């Protein structure tokens, strides 16, 4: 057993009064974030590096005199906005992301964060209690364990107008039993995953399946008067189609990643450079649709939760060019149009993707051994 951070996301159904309060909270959190970001931008570069979170929080208290409407919402959510800004600046100076931008009130996705203090957040089988909001009915898709400790909650409204909560908890996660099985995965477009056992899992192309419906909805939007009631209704219809695509893809990837983590102790995958691959415009839409990076993220945290090992093979490893039988490299196989080939050295017939998956597994096991023993 190990203590892990996990998140439980549920759809909630607030009443009109609660929706109004949430809209106020979204706006106030955005205002506080933008207010202090403006102060940071006006400083010189050296002073920007020394963010004084506590000083900002003290200033926030005095701001409530000038902006009385800040008192209407949960004070913890306003402090959380300052902490989010601080985290964004820290990541910027570590060169992990760009300089934070102002939050727009026109952004279709809105959110605020509140923390669990003295039992102010409670969850039953049918309702969730949030600070200053009260009890809200929710869709209980999976229960939170009684032993889990609630740390904070993110309240979010998506582009389709639906409300969700993400309840972040600390809980003890039981490690999965060892299976003594290993597997290598090659990511593809025709098939989403090809494994070293010769199995191929189809790429359902969720965006492509709804692309015509989406294009029709967008044409309808273009014919409506901008910002009219019908325009806003059509915008929500478009957002609902996008939401359906995301939900289908996530459901598929969650089920597949959970199955792999349950069956295998070591999983080897390629550390793909997605940003470079997206530069090829002929494949960029299909790569976006496949969402390999999201799948790799799921494998990463699930392996961490359940005591399994995920090994990422370097992006420059020529997995497709090496014969998995005799280990000879054949650069001509770099041509992606060659799907089946025969090794000139040992005369072994290869399926391009299965051969790559076998090579990824062998390289992954080598890297795993080097990591465990410290051999350079």
Q: Rounded to whole angstroms, how far apart are CA atoms 354 and 362?
A: 13
Buried b (16+ CB within 10 A) or exposed e, 208-220: eebeeebeebeee
CA 76 to chain centre: 25
What tokens does 208 get? 């492509």
The answer to whether 79 and 57 have CB atoms below 8 angstroms apart is yes
| Neighbouring residues of 292: CB distance < 8 A, sequence distance ≥ 6 | 187, 272, 274
* SS3 label, residue 269: strand
SS3 content of the chain, % helix, strand, coil (to 5): 45, 20, 30
Q: Cα(19)–Cα(25) distance, rounded to whole angstroms?
A: 10
Catalytic residue, from 74, 265, 270, 363: name it: 270
Q: Is 353 a catalytic residue?
A: yes
Phi/psi of residue 220, each to 5°? Answer: -65, -40
CB 12 within 8 A of CB 164: yes
Using an 8 Å Cβ cutoff, are 317 and 363 in contact? yes
Please tell me which residue in 74, 171, 186, 195 is annotated as part of the active site.
186
Q: Is 304 a catalytic residue?
A: no
H/E element, 257: helix 229-263
Backbone angles phi, psi at 364, to 5 degrees: -65, -40
Please identify which of the residues 171, 353, 362, 363 carries the catalytic annotation: 353
In the three-class reduction of DSSP (H, G, I as helix; E, B as strand; rest coil), residue 264 is classed as: coil
CA R_g for the chain:
25
Residues 6+ positions from 133 with CB-CB distance below 8 Å: 14, 18, 21, 22
294 classed as catalytic: no
The catalytic residues are: 186, 270, 353
């Amino acid at each position: 057993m190990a203590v892990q951070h996990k998140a439980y996301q549920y759809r909630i159904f607030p009443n009109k009064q609660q929706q109004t309060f949430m809209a106020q909270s979204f706006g106030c959190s955005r205002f506080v974030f933008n207010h202090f970001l403006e102060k940071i931008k006006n400083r010189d570069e050296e002073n920007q590096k020394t963010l004084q979170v506590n000083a900002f929080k003290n200033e926030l208290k005095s701001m409530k005199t000038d902006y009385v409407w800040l008192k209407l919402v949960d004070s913890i959510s306003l402090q959380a906005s300052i902490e989010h800004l601080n985290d964004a600046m820290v990541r910027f100076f570590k060169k992990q992301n760009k300089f934070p931008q102002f939050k727009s009130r026109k952004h279709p996705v809105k959110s605020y964060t509140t923390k669990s203090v003295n039992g102010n957040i409670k969850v039953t089988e049918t309702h969730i209690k949030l600070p200053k909001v009260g009890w809200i009915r929710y869709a209980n898709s999976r229960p939170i364990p009684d032993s889990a400790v609630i740390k904070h909650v993110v309240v979010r409204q998506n582009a389709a107008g639906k409300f969700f909560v993400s309840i972040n908890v600390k809980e003890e996660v039981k490690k999965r039993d060892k299976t003594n099985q290993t597997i290598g995965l090659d990511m593809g477009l025709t098939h989403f995953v090809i494994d070293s056992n010769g199995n191929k899992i189809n790429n359902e192309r969720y965006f492509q399946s709804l692309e015509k419906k989406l294009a029709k909805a967008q044409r309808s939007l273009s014919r409506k008067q901008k910002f009219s009631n019908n325009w806003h209704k059509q915008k929500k219809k478009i957002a609902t189609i996008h939401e359906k695509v995301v939900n289908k893809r996530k459901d598929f990837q969650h089920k597949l990643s959970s199955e792999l983590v349950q069956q295998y102790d070591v999983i080897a995958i390629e550390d793909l450079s997605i940003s470079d691959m997206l530069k090829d415009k002929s494949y960029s839409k299909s790569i976006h649709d496949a969402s390999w990076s999201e799948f790799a993220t799921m494998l990463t945290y699930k392996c961490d939760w359940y005591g399994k090992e995920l090994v990422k093979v370097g992006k420059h490893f020529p997995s497709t060019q090496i014969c998995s039988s005799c280990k000879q490299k054949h650069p001509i196989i770099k041509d992606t149009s060659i799907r089946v080939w025969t090794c000139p050295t040992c005369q072994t017939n290869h399926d391009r993707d299965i051969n790559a998956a076998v090579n990824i597994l062998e390289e992954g096991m080598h890297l795993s051994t080097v990591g465990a023993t410290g051999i350079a």
